[in-house]
A and B are shown apart, each in its own frame.
Chain A
């Protein structure tokens, strides 16, 4: 069966520091991969999605970037974090179009 791993679970970072969040999927090949951000008490905002290695689409302009160095690995990065980058970051995967997206356990990021 397919599983998705996301780490770390929580992270506290100072303003201006770099960020790297990692997500890996097991048990499937060539999945679609997604990064979402959820502010406290709010909905899900799609940040990036990828349909294949090296293919990244950005949905909103921001201080973040994403990379997909391997088929089942998706990385969210920032060179210099802002206070507004705080939130709950969720990675998700799906098999193909019109199939369910399945979420990882998320990373709660606090910027001080």
Chain B
């Protein structure tokens, strides 16, 4: 089955700096890659997603890149703010009938003011 590795597990940046979180996946059939943000004690919320027919997608300060050949995808947050502090999860799906997502282990991002 699919295996998703996420790095780093923790990331501390200064407010205004950029943050990059990387994920690798094992199943070349995966074609859908969402990113979720989870604040302490809250539910995960989708912040951006990308499909395998696209190499890059951007939404304001957030961007995701996908390298299908290398089987890795990354989340880029620019001009970080304290409210960006949270745990971020990447995930991958092969688009089967159950639409099952395999999640990475999460990255705790801390943005210091």
Contacts and interface: CB of A to CB of B under 8 A. Distances in A.
B34 A100 contact: yes
Contacts of A57: 98
A99 interface: yes
Interface string A30-46: 00100000000011101
| SS class, residues of chain B in contact with chain A | loop
Interface residues of B, number: 24
A100 B34 CA distance: 7
Interface of A: 32, 42-44, 46, 49, 51, 57, 59, 90, 94, 96-106, 108
18 contacts: A32-B98, A43-B104, A43-B105, A44-B44, A44-B89, A46-B100, A51-B98, A57-B98, A90-B44, A94-B99, A100-B49, A101-B34, A101-B46, A102-B46, A103-B44, A103-B45, A104-B43, A105-B42
